[in-house]
Structure formats: C-alpha cells, structure tokens
Structure 1
C-alpha cells in the first residue's frame, strides 16, 4: 500500500511546518571564499558503506558510512520490508539539524545499535527537505501519538507503512525515567515478534482515526471578514508582550503571521497590532537569534528572550523574514527595518548563493562538532582583536567574562541597556555607529577564518521561490540593483534547469535532480514570480506564474477542491 493511500488526508498548513524545528527535547565563505560542502568519500576507505551512497541529498550522504544498513525511501526498501516481514524504522531529519547529528554520533554510528537494526528492522533514512510529503505525513502521525514533534523524527512502521510507535530524539542509554534508543529498539523488536496482532490492531485503528481526523468535511464555507478576525484574535492571544513573539520557548520568528498582522493593521489601524509587530521585529533583530556580526537569522530561540538560538540558518527563514522586514519598512518608514533587510539579503548572497543562480538550503548549527562554535566569542578574544575599542563594543553587545552561552562564550546581542549606551558614551550617533561597524568588520573577518559550518548545497525549487520573493521585495525598498539581478538570476535558473517537460523538479544537487513533483514548489514559486513581475514588469514571469498555478490545480487538487502534497500515484 502506498503512503499516499494510507494517510493522503494529512495535509497540514505549510506555515505550521515552517515554524517547527529540531527536536525541543534535548555557501560561500564570509570573505568571499568559495562555498565548499564536506564531500562524502565513495572510495573503499570506510569500514561501512550502505545504500545511501548513491543518493543526491547531502543529508543522506552524511549517513552513507554508518554501520546501520540504511536505505533511501523507495521500492527496494519497501519491498524488502514486505518480503522479509520486518518492521520499518523510519528516521527523518535534515543536514542542519543539531540533534540529528547528536543522534547519529550516539546511536547510528554505534555498532551495537546497528546490529539490532540490521537484524530486526528495515532502516530507512529520509531528508525531510527532499521529501516534504513524507515529512508532513509522518510528522502528523508523530504529533498525534506523542503530543509534540521535531527532528530527528523516529517512527516505527509495519511493512504496509502504518505507524505504531513514534518519537523524536532518543539518547543512546536510559536516563531521566526514559528508555534509551538501545533499550527501545530491543523492546520494539521483541514486541513485534511476540505481540504482532496487538501492534497491527493498534496501527490499523490509529490510521483509521487519522483518516477521520484529516478527512475533508465536504461542507462549503462562506468567506467573510470573521475568518480574518478570528485569525487575528488567535495570533494575538499568543502574543508575549515582554520580549515579543508568540507563545513560550522555544520561540520561532513566525514571519507569515507578522506579515498577516501588518496587513490587518493597514486595513483597520489597530495600534495594538502594530505595537506587537514592531516590538517583536525589533527584539528578534537585536537578539542572539539574529547574527549581529554577519547578518541573517538563525532557526529559532531556545529561550523567551531571543538570546540563545539553535544556530542553523535556513534559506526559507531568511527569505521569508526579508519579506517581513521589507513590509515593516514600507508600513513605518523606520530605517532600522531596511538595515535588517540589507544584512539578511547580503548574508544570503554571500553564503548561500550558487554561482549558477540558485540558493543553497541551509548552514549547519555545528562546526567542529560543537553547536554554535562558529558564532560565539570569549571576551578575551574580542579584547585582543579590538584593543581600546573593546570596552565600548562589549558593553553595547553584552559581552562579559562570564559569558551568556556555554564555556564562558558570548552570543552578541543588543538589549534595552545597549540602546541607551550611545547617549551615555557622549559620542554623536554617527561616530558611535562607525566605531561599532568597524569593530564588527574586524570580528567578521576573523570569524571567516574559523572552521565553517557544513553547507547543505542542494537547491530546492520551493525555497528558491521564497528567495525570489525576498530579493524582489528587498529591491523594492532598497533599490539596490544586486537584489533585482539575483531575483532574476534565480528565476532564470529554475526555469532553465528545474522546469523540465513542463513540470517542476523539487531538488537539485551537483547536476542531479530528484524524482516527483510537490505542491509546495508550485505554490512558493508562483508567489515568487508574482513578486518578481511586480518588480521588473516583464510578462514572461507573470505568464509562467499563471501556467504554474493552473498546473497546480490539475496535478494536486480533486473535484471537491481539496489540495494534496503530492499526486496520489507518486
């Protein structure tokens, strides 16, 4: 039975998954260096080589020499599970995910774990960015089973692909009242042998309940302003007024929610909405979630203050936030927002831009095996680099001997005391800004010599559609020609290289492309091309957008008007 036949109704809003991150449990170089991805050796100098070795995904290739006998998702693995009557261990993650790396080091490189998995399971590894349909389907199942979700996602399936146990990150050994992964797979293997009927009964019942939960009602609803009003009430009901943002830690940027609220303010002039949006945007851009030295946003903050991020940088976060901050400038005229737009787009062009026009997917959280190592500083390092200017810089960015992160290191950030410091320093604003900018450049150049985080250099059509929007909207507020040129170059790259036989290719890496078509590519690229047309006024792009929108209806919708992540037969 195909996965889309099992859980085809599990269509979740894209924006929900744009705000989910690494499990809560637990490019080019900065000076113009060529962006180099860590290559996976295919020669015989590894003890183990599994079925991932010929894949195009950098994330899958990272696992190609695990002792676990990984398979990519596909006919070979699914037929093996059915023929050998073994349960499937499905592990879904992505290359920039810190806890995915931790679980690999602890469990997937462990020969004891591998022995059990290889004997009792068929192990399948999936890059969530290459297979957004599988990711969203099994994330829905994981969330339904456990009440939460994240990556790495760990799901155990019957041979006919029905989930019966799920979780996220598991440590190797037991602790804190929880089973470790080693204990877990032993118990699941034993249960599958001895309690097979109960497992099948549970999985059948679970899938039936999920089908009901995600089934379309068939009822028609009238579109009216109450839908907008309820959405605004729901978002604002989660507003956190002290530090901005929505909900408790971990905090995500929610760029689409912020853009929606700005449009509601423009229509209704509710000052409470604008105050919430501006407070959130400024606290994020001054916090540690924003790279104060090199520009660009990290994935999310683990605390309420936006101070300590998970350090991965994703293309889609930065593209969406470039749009949001552009809209904030258009709405308020505040030059601070334009500054963040420039720095964010400059980061994307410097570190995530492929020479042929597309954009890479992500920068890892880790370097040299440590999360955030590339981005954090000891005060003594800064004192040595800046000399007499260090005191001013450190006070402004809250750099101390104790540090605000691990091992007495610091994440530069600006708080309310920082904002008063220029006045207390008895300098005029221009002089103060120049000293800070010069100091940032010194740290930036020094940082560029460190070991860089891994770059996931696959190119995704969907996320590049978002990048086109970010660049086009950035050009509209800055009039910087390089953003317009990059938006056009990206659109041209996709049309020439990722649009074949009048269908969009989802993923491209080193000349190789993925199979299958996905709704998100058509949706995000169509939106990006509309933004591009409104920037360059070339009918080529609005005509392509119209064609893609029509194709999306043909490929992904049914007669009742429901849209699906991928075609049912795929």
Structure 2
C-alpha cells in the first residue's frame, strides 16, 4: 500500500491492543498510529519518511485538545499518514523516550510540555520539536518537514546529527558537588528568598505543589532546630490545603494551580503528587501536632485508596483534567447550586465559607472551593461536615472525570511509603493494609522472570504487566516504599525485596562515580541515554536510589549501601546546590544522611506486649530524618538490627545506635525519648496542649 493509500483508507489502528489508557484514547483515530518499537522504525526506513513522535498522557488537557483538533481530523490524518510514520507514546509508560525527546524539545524551543510533538529520522534522531500546535499550524509543520525531508535531506540530516550530539552531551551527568551542612543551610536560605510570603509557595504562577522541597524543610528543622525552615514549610502547606488546588470535598490535590493564589487548579489529580503530599502532611503533623496537617494527610490517603485503588491492589495513575471535554465540570460550583443542594439556610453559609461568589473565581460564573478558615466551634464544624457529605453526594451525580488505571511502579512505590506512614502514625490500620496489598501486587505482577532472573517492569493494567522495562526511579521509589513498609510492620520480607531492587539498580543503572542513569545498561538504546540530576514532580532516579540505598544501609548495617548513597548524592550535588527548588528529594535525602544513621531496634516478646508497643510509639513520634526502625523478636531472621539484641528482664527493650555505635538498652518510653532527643534548640514550640497526645495515639501494627 502506498503512502497515498494510507492517507485515504483508515487502517486497523495498532493501538487497539495497547495496555496504556492514553494510547487507547487514540485507538480509533484516522491517524495510523504505531506504538513505540522496532516495527515503526522499520517502516520509516522502508518508506523513507520521518517519524512523527507524539508524546502525552491520559490526564493531559492540551493532549485532548490537539487530539480533537488534529488527530481526529480526516484531512490532517491523510497528510500525516502519507508523509510520516506516526508513533504515539505514553510518557508515563515510557519515561525514557519522553526524557530524551523532551531534552531535545527544550533545547530547540526553550520550553517543554505535553503534548510533545517531535519529527525524527528513521533512526530516531530529532529533526524538529515542539509541543501543542493548533490544527492549521500543525498541518503547516507536517508539510514543511515533508518538503525539507524530500528536497534538503543532507541539511536535515546534518542538523539532526548536531542536535543529537548536543543532547547526548546535555544528558551526560555533571561533575559532582558535595551536599554538606553548609549547602543544606544555603538551600533553605535560597528557598526563603523565592517564597511568595503573601500566598505561600515559591515563585509565581503557575504554582506546583513543592512536596519534596517541603519535606527537606521539615527534615532541616528536625535536624538543626531551624524554626524558619519549619515556618516556611507550614505557610506553603496551609496555603495549599486551604486553596482550590485541594479538593475540599473529597480530599486530594490537583496537579497545579494556574494562578499564584492557589485558587484555580489544573484539575487533573496525579498519584505521585498525592503520595508525596500525604507523607509531607503527616510528617508536619508529627512535628507539630497541627490539626490541619493531620486532617489533610488522612483525607489525601483516603482519596488515593478510594478513588485511585484498583481491583488488583495497585493504584491508578491519575484522574483526568477534563470531564466530557470541559475542565472543572465536576468540581466547580455557583451559589445557586450550593443552595439547591443544601437549602436556603446552609447554602449561603457554605458559599461564604468556601468563597463561592456570584462573580465566580473560575469560568462562567462558577467558583472553585476554598476553605480559607475552619468553621468556628463544634456546632459550626458539625454543620460543615454534614454539608460536605451532602455536596459530595450531589457531586457524585455529576459527570465524572476519566481515570487512567495504569499502575506505574514508581508512583505506587511512593504511595506505599505514604500510606504506610499515615497508617501507622494516625492509627489507620486500613491504610497500612492498603499499602501491603499494593506491595504484594507489585512484587507479584511487576517482577517478571525473563530467563535471566526477575526483572522489574514499568507498569501494568487490569493485572496484566506491560512490556516496558522499569527505569531507575521505579527501582528507587519501590525500594523506598518497601523499606517504609518494613519499618511500619516489622515484616522482614519487605526488607529482602528492597535489597534485591537496590542491588539490581546499583549494578545496572549507576556509573562508578555514582551517577544514576534512567535506563539500565542493557536497556533499549535510544539516540541518547537519559539521565536526570533534577527532581521534578517526583524524585529523579538519582535521588530515589540515593534515598533507598541510605535507608537500606542503615537497616542492614552494610556500609557499602551508605557509600553508594554518598556517591549518588555527590552526583546530584550540582543541581542541589545551584537550584534547590529542583532538587527537593536529593536535599531531603542529604538531610537524612547528615542526621544519621540513627538505628533503633526494639525487641519484643510478642506483638501484643504493652511495653514494646509503648517503645514503638516513642520511636515513631521522633521526627529525626536519619532514624530507621527495626522491631520484632530477638534474632528475627533477615532483620540485621535485631541480631544479638536480647530482651531485658524478659521484656521489651530498645537499642539506640548512632553511626553503628550503640547505647545501653532502655526499657521505658521516657528513657527512649531522652536517647532520641533532637539537638539542643531543635524542639518545636508547641501551642496546642493536646499535640503530644495526638502524636502518640498510634499503636504499633
């Protein structure tokens, strides 16, 4: 069949068998999409045409817009099919492909984003890069690339080669820089200089939730007693929690706010944001007893389990930005709509409480919901709780956003960590059980033996694992989640599984200098091998593996893991010291390294031992970022910190070690609290007399 035939006859769309919900959204396009793979490259060589590589994700608003304008248009499809081999890529399923072409797009245009639109040679080297194009502009670009490919081939290939070489150089890991005490303190000062003191957050619009930066600030305060760091984190944490970026009815955070005031969100909800944020909020609650922080941590965790949970135990990737093609259709309200649901008494009261105005704060006279202040008094709080339930029930009758039910390894690892900590700190056994189910699913489904031993895969859907290999952050984030779950449950199988993942990643993803490549040494070769020293919306592979190796070294007593963490942090140091806003997780890990390791082993005669439970509660109340916990019976197999730790007088005891040097065992919470006391001046001033009791209300699982 000729190129002309391809433009005029709709082929069987190859995306119909894809596991990615994003690719399936395009399965009935007249564009004759291929999935990324050898078949597409072979056809491009055979037909002697460029590749059109379109990269996006299912919750992306502008991806939907471009799809409706261009990819569903018969005329556009005819031109695309005749002049290119079109390839559709889910950036969440193939972050490696996304990374190398995003680097090219940013290098040639000065910005990036999705949808990403790249024309490439049949060997995959980029020719022309862009993001969203309106229909007519997109047709012009396709036509221009086709003409250049046919009439100025030598110039096109020479330019493509130069660009590919430049990107390979750009993706080479930078020279390492130490992230020491001075650098950590300087990072806090740099963040303070960029704070929006009026509205919270850093910089201007659009504003993204800086979850990992906030975690570093909490850890810095816990380690040094710097109250300014805690206040900086708290101001942003409260502003986000009370703004429109937070779902005041169902819990959970949207991807970002389009304005500087956190009023109007871009309505997609991503698993990775909510996994990281629930962990920050529960750590803020642990540090201060702040009621808002505890509520947001719990509601966000409930959102993840309720709205993103899948039948197999994993968590879906996202809720869409659009509902029936309209942003905010599910979430925005008018005063009249509130009154219709709540009646003439409660409707206006809730409208005032949530800043729902006649003029509106969003589009077409509608408003997002913001809880600027809590209702005053128990009666008002009860009134709001009842109104919230009625509004949520009414909202459930509206059209709902689509859900990307792809289960991504890295993001689920972050969710395991968040749910485990919220569950154990806020006494929510159901959340801990959800984390456990997720871990079982990932290890049972995403680890696939291809003949050379188990290899981790990137994602699954409906219990069926995808073909894409896991990247570095999949290994690091899943190991992080399993190590957190191990400390929450005492189950050594999670420690064993995490160790296997870290061993694999250190062997296959790292350079001798400690730099972590995104892809393994035997992964599919792209035109460049991706690497990122920056933390974006989630931890980079570099910092994720550094954090997992650090915790693993502390829990096992194996110094080789601590050395690997040091090398990885050093490799991340160039970005961390220059642009701390884009190295939040690397800095958070560096805070933990500077504070520890503080190893606590609690040996108990049994899970129901009262003294053991009291000791565990005391350990978990500590905000020390360098602390790791092992607990269980003495000499529990595969739990190195419990080896050689006897009971004291037949009862539970806690052993505290710093840098592998251990104090004598203690048997009372008071002795243990004294042994774990932060440095002088690091205690948080506490205005709430009930904070200590709230922090200590979680029993051990």
Under a length normalisation based on structure 2, what TM-score does the superposition of the two structures give? 0.71
Does the CA-based 8 Å contact 1:47-1:65 persist in structure 2? no
Tell me what 2:215 maps to: 259
Q: 1:149-164 alignment to 2 at 5 Å? A: 149-164=112-127
Does the CA-based 8 Å contact 2:445-2:463 persist in structure 1? no
Out of 377, 384, 400, the position equivalent to 1:452 is 400
Tell me what 1:325 maps to: 281
Distance in 1 separating the partners of 2:47 and 2:85: 9
Out of 313, 317, 323, the position equivalent to 1:367 is 323
Distance in 2 separating the partners of 1:358 and 1:106: 34
Tell me what 1:461 maps to: 409
Does the CA-based 8 Å contact 2:316-2:407 persist in structure 1? yes
Distance in 2 separating the partners of 1:480 and 1:389: 32
Does the CA-based 8 Å contact 1:59-1:127 persist in structure 2? yes
Out of 215, 218, 226, the position equivalent to 1:270 is 226
Tell me what 1:430 maps to: 378
**Cα deviations across residues 88-121 of structure 1 (Å, max 9, x unaligned)?**
1111110011111011001111111111111111
Distance in 2 separating the partners of 1:189 and 1:235: 47
Give the Å deviation of 1:467. 0.7
Segment of structure 1 superposing worse, 515-524 or 433-442: 515-524
Does the CA-based 8 Å contact 1:367-1:452 persist in structure 2? yes
Distance in 2 separating the partners of 1:406 and 1:224: 48
SS of the counterpart of 1:406? coil
Does the CA-based 8 Å contact 1:265-1:271 persist in structure 2? yes
Distance in 2 separating the partners of 1:311 and 1:504: 31
Q: 1:118-517 alignment to 2 at 5 Å? A: 118-173=81-136, 180-216=137-173, 221-222=177-178, 224-387=180-343, 388-415=345-372, 418=373, 422=375, 429-501=377-449, 502-515=454-467, 516-517=469-470
Number of corresponding residues: 509
Distance in 2 separating the partners of 1:249 and 1:155: 27
Give the Å deviation of 1:242. 1.3
Out of 528, 536, 549, the position equivalent to 2:481 is 528
Distance in 1 separating the partners of 2:198 and 2:255: 21
Give the Å deviation of 1:327. 0.9
Structure 1 spans left out of the alignment, 5+ residues: 1-45, 174-179, 424-428
Structure 2 spans left out of the alignment, 5+ residues: 1-8, 524-701
Does the CA-based 8 Å contact 2:335-2:348 persist in structure 1? no
Does the CA-based 8 Å contact 2:445-2:464 persist in structure 1? no
SS of the counterpart of 1:188? helix
Larger Rg: 2
**Cα deviations across residues 156-213 of structure 1 (Å, max 9, x unaligned)?**
112221112211111113xxxxxx2122212222222222222222221122222223
Segment of structure 1 superposing worse, 160-169 or 462-471: 160-169
Does the CA-based 8 Å contact 1:93-1:151 persist in structure 2? yes
Change (3 A) 1:124 1:341: same
Distance in 2 separating the partners of 1:495 and 1:402: 51
Does the CA-based 8 Å contact 1:50-1:66 persist in structure 2? yes
Does the CA-based 8 Å contact 2:482-2:495 persist in structure 1? yes
CA-based RMSD of the aligned residues comes to 1.7
Distance in 2 separating the partners of 1:98 and 1:341: 27
Under a length normalisation based on structure 1, what TM-score does the superposition of the two structures give? 0.86
